[in-house]
Structure 1
Amino acid sequence: MSKVLKNLTILIVEDESETRKLMQDVLSDEFSNIITAQNGDEGLKKFKKYNPDMVISDIAMPIMDGLEMTEQIKKISSDTPIIALSAHSEKEKLLRAIDVGVDKYVLKPIDMEEFLATIELVATQKIQSTNDIQLSDGYSFNKTKRVLVKDGVEISLTKKELAFVSLLIKRLGTIVLHDEIKNVVWIGESVSEAAIRTFVKRIRDKVGANFIKNAPGLGYKIEANS
């Protein structure tokens, strides 16, 4: 597993505790950041909070099933890969999985060697397909190097500034709410709305006043390349 893949954050959503722990143990050897949830509702909340690079989810779960969760996640971030797990191979479920945007479908019981190969394939495809993101007004973002570029010149950002810009780029063209920004950029820290405004002004001083758009009282967004 390459260093770039190892640094990805993976969200596992599985209601069976033993299966969830087994997947967590296996994937912890391959990826640095593993997050788990025990149903689709918790999975969706953790997706919004932690902004993972990939989701691996069971289909049949209480409260909210994996396909409903997938549909909600794809509305937030259509390019986040989702691998669905199921003990069933009924045509209706397969078609529904395709309809909501599942990227790969893996049948249980899971063959761990094949499972890891599938994850690596999907992760590699994700990185290759979204490596350089073209933004408006001559900006681009390289996801492998995690750098923002303007007209070929790299813009230096702090760790928190990079986390903020990365989040907005992942939600490109849509408003990212203040609460989500706090959860991703200031994990476990208390931060005021005034402090966020000052923080954003500092970034604008570096990247240009019009790069980050403000939605008063709601949050911020970065526009896609038109």
Structure 2
Amino acid sequence: MDKINKKKATAMEESYRAILKNSSLLLVEDDKRVGESFAKVLRLYLKEVFLAHDGEEGFRLYKEKNPDILITDVRMPKLNGIELIKKIRRENSKIPIIITSAYSDQDYLLEAIKLSLIEYIIKPMKEEDLKRVLKESAKQLSNSSNLFFIQEGLFYDYKNKIFIRNGKKVTLTKKEIELVELLLLNRGNLVTKEKIENTLYSYEEAPPSALKNIIFKLRKKLPNDIIKTYGKLGYFIEKE
């Protein structure tokens, strides 16, 4: 039982890392040197990091880039962090938000509590703090994520129609997508060749060897054991 729980925990950790590697983050920090240094660290964990140096620029970048996560300072020129978050929360109630501040100002803390934050962290942010808040952000994103665990190091992203293999994107053709999603819909069960061909070629006759060619190309892109063959009857993807 412990081994099963450990395997599930490892799979979840991988899932969170994969989510972060395919997510963007907006960092709003008025100290340019600190901001650039912090952004460099964040890029180790995330796909994209956008950097703003005041609240107004932060809101403009939020509208322009639509980031998945927000980290913001509190005391900033033009628009402070609390007001920035309030503006964003009027449009987006789900985006994970972290405040970093050099001040444990009671008024700011009381205001921040109302804004559904991941955390309010006093600077400087330690490495363990960063890992914790990013993990919590990934958890929150996973609730609305379309990332589907296949096996260790491999996920299918239903939203973007790609596989993520060891943190790297694997693009698919239209027919490959249709086949993968059909097999995942019936995961653990045999899907006959006839059913697959009827799904992939509903308005035309399936060309000779077309299905074999799709399977062959998919197996080159993915671990070879993902799509199983059941004699001459059809194919399936095993359950976890």
What TM-score do the two structures reach when normalised by structure 1?
0.56
Q: Which residue of 2 aligns with 1:138?
A: none
Q: Which residue of 2 aligns with 1:85?
A: 100
Residue by residue, what CA displacement relative to the aligned partner does 1:177-207 show, whole Å, maximum 9, x if unpaired? xxxxxxxxxxxxxxxxxxxxxxxxxxxxxxx
Q: Which residue of 2 aligns with 1:58?
A: 73
- Residue type at the aligned position of 1:111: K
Identity fraction in percent? 30
What TM-score do the two structures reach when normalised by structure 2?
0.53
- Distance, in Å, in 1 between the alignment partners of 2:29 and 2:65 is 17
Q: Which residue of 2 aligns with 1:177?
A: none
Change (3 A) 1:62 1:131: same
Match of 1:39 among 29, 48, 54: 54
- Residue type at the aligned position of 1:130: S
Larger Rg: 2
- Distance, in Å, in 2 between the alignment partners of 1:50 and 1:80 is 13
SS in 1 for 2:117: coil
- Distance, in Å, in 1 between the alignment partners of 2:53 and 2:63 is 15
Mark the runs of 5 or more structure 2 residues left unpaired by the alignment.
1-15, 147-155, 162-173, 175-240
**TM superposition shift of 1:147:** 6.0
- Distance, in Å, in 1 between the alignment partners of 2:33 and 2:137 is 24
- Distance, in Å, in 2 between the alignment partners of 1:144 and 1:2 is 14
RMSD (Å) for aligned C-alpha atoms? 2.0
Residue by residue, what CA displacement relative to the aligned partner does 1:22-45 show, whole Å, maximum 9, x if unpaired? 111101111121101001110001
Does residue 124 (structure 1) correspond to residue 139 (structure 2)? The answer is yes
- Distance, in Å, in 2 between the alignment partners of 1:72 and 1:66 is 10
1:136-215 correspondence runs (5 A) = 144-146=157-159
SS in 1 for 2:39: helix
**TM superposition shift of 1:109:** 1.6
**TM superposition shift of 1:18:** 1.4
- Distance, in Å, in 1 between the alignment partners of 2:88 and 2:65 is 13
Residue by residue, what CA displacement relative to the aligned partner does 1:140-161 show, whole Å, maximum 9, x if unpaired? xxx952169xxxxxxx7xxxxx
Number of matched residues?
A: 138
1:91-102 correspondence runs (5 A) = 91-102=106-117
- Residue type at the aligned position of 2:83: E
- Distance, in Å, in 2 between the alignment partners of 1:21 and 1:15 is 10
SS in 1 for 2:82: helix
- Residue type at the aligned position of 2:87: Q
